[in-house]
Amino acid sequence: MPDIDQVLAEIGQAETLDAVEVLRVQLLGKQGSISGLLKTLGKMTPEERTLEGPKIHALREGVTEALASRKATLESAALEARLAAETIDLTLPAPDAPRGSVHPIAQVMDELAEVFADLGFAVATGPEIEDDWHNFTALNMPESHPARAMHDTFYFPDRNEAGREMLLRTHTSPVQIRAMIAQGAPLRIIAPGRVYRSDSDATHTPMFHQIEGLVIDKGIHLGHLKWTLETFLKAFFERDDVVLRLRPSYFPFTEPSVEVDVGYTLINGKRVIGGSGDAAGGGWMEVLGSGMVNRKVIAAGGLDPDEWQGFAFGTGVDRLAMLKYGMDDLRAFFDGDARWLSHYGFAALDVPTLSGGVGTPA
Q: Distance between CA 204 and CA 4 in Å, rounded?
A: 94
Q: Distance between CA 261 and CA 271 in Å, rounded?
A: 13
- Of the pair 228, 315, the CB lying nearest ligand 2NL is at 315
- Of the pair 136, 251, the CB lying nearest ligand 2NL is at 251
Number of residues forming the site for ligand 2NL (CB under 6 A): 19
The number of C-alpha atoms within 13 Å of 346 and in the hemisphere containing its C-beta is 17
Q: What does the per-residue mask of binding to ligand 2NL show for 210-249, with x meaning CB under 6 A? A: x-x-x-----------------------------------
Q: Distance between CA 336 and CA 324 in Å, rounded?
A: 20
CA distances from 278 to 110, 242, 265, 270 (A): 32, 13, 9, 17
192 forms part of the interface with ligand 2NL (CB under 6 A): no
Buried b (16+ CB within 10 A) or exposed e, 151-189: eebbeeeeeeeeeebbbbbbbbbbbbbbbbeeeebebbb
Position among 121, 253, 333, 344 found at the interface with ligand 2NL (CB under 6 A)? 253
Q: Under 8 Å CB-to-CB from 195, ≥6 apart: which residues?
A: 128, 168, 169, 170, 171, 172, 207, 208, 209, 210
Identify whether the C-beta of residue 332 lies closer than 8 Å to the C-beta of residue 308. Answer: no
Segment near ligand 2NL (CB under 6 A), from 52-60, 129-137, 283-291, 320-328? 283-291
Nearest-CB residue to ligand 2NL? 314
CA distances from 309 to 162, 186, 230, 258 (A): 30, 9, 20, 16
Position among 104, 193, 274, 289 found at the interface with ligand 2NL (CB under 6 A)? 289
- Of the pair 139, 242, the CB lying nearest ligand 2NL is at 139
- Of the pair 131, 212, the CB lying nearest ligand 2NL is at 212
Segment near ligand 2NL (CB under 6 A), from 37-45, 96-104, 217-225, 310-318? 310-318
Segment near ligand 2NL (CB under 6 A), from 75-83, 182-190, 273-281, 309-317? 309-317
Segment near ligand 2NL (CB under 6 A), from 96-104, 208-216, 274-282, 346-354? 208-216
Segment near ligand 2NL (CB under 6 A), from 39-47, 197-205, 207-215, 335-343? 207-215
